[in-house]
Amino acid sequence: MRKRIYYLQLALLLTTLWVIFFEKISIIIILSGFFFSVFSIYFSEKYLVDDSFYTFYPFNIFKILRYSLFMFFEIYKSGFSIIPYIISGKANPGFVDIYTELESNLDIVILANSITLTPGTITVDVQGHSLQVLWINPSTTQPTMAGIKIKGRIEKKIKEGL
């Protein structure tokens, strides 16, 4: 039963992307998107991957929506904190190295992209558990303290699972 719900969520997620790419909503677009989503999932599992998506990429659509809402607020919070540096022209960018405790490569990529989404930071390089980040106004270059300030609650939310 859990597998069926997973595949239904995956098909609905892909159908949503289909509708977004078409930039309009109609019953034909939704039905064709759902059909192609189901076909793509079936074809990929049968011919392209060794195991099922359920094993490779476990996710829950509700956790993804919760994480998206969390990131929305983090992006705006970071954006407002960076505005004074941009207006005054007193930005002093610098590179810092931070480390993550995340194990999965997918989780590390999500963390790196989430850091890049927040204004004032850009993930430049990822090597294993080490991330090099360009920070608009670094308050420290010590990796542990920089990691706490840059990652904030993002790493914890990713650990809870998407």
Residue 122 dihedral angles phi and psi, to the nearest 5° = -135, 125
Return the residue matching tokens 């509708």: 19
3-class DSSP assignment, residue 140 = coil
Name the stretches of the chain with pLDDT < 70.
Answer: none
| Among 10, 114, 5, residue whose Cα is nearest residue 57 | 10
Tens of pLDDT along 83-112? 998 899 888 899 999 999 999 898 999 999
- What is the predicted pLDDT for the residue at 74? 95
**Assessment of whether the complete model's pTM goes beyond 0.85:** no
- What is the predicted pLDDT for the residue at 68? 92
Tens of pLDDT along 113-124? 999 999 999 999
Report the C-alpha gap between 111 and 139 in whole angstroms.
21
Question: Strands across the sheet with 130-135, in order?
Answer: 94-99, 130-135, 121-127
- What is the predicted pLDDT for the residue at 160? 86
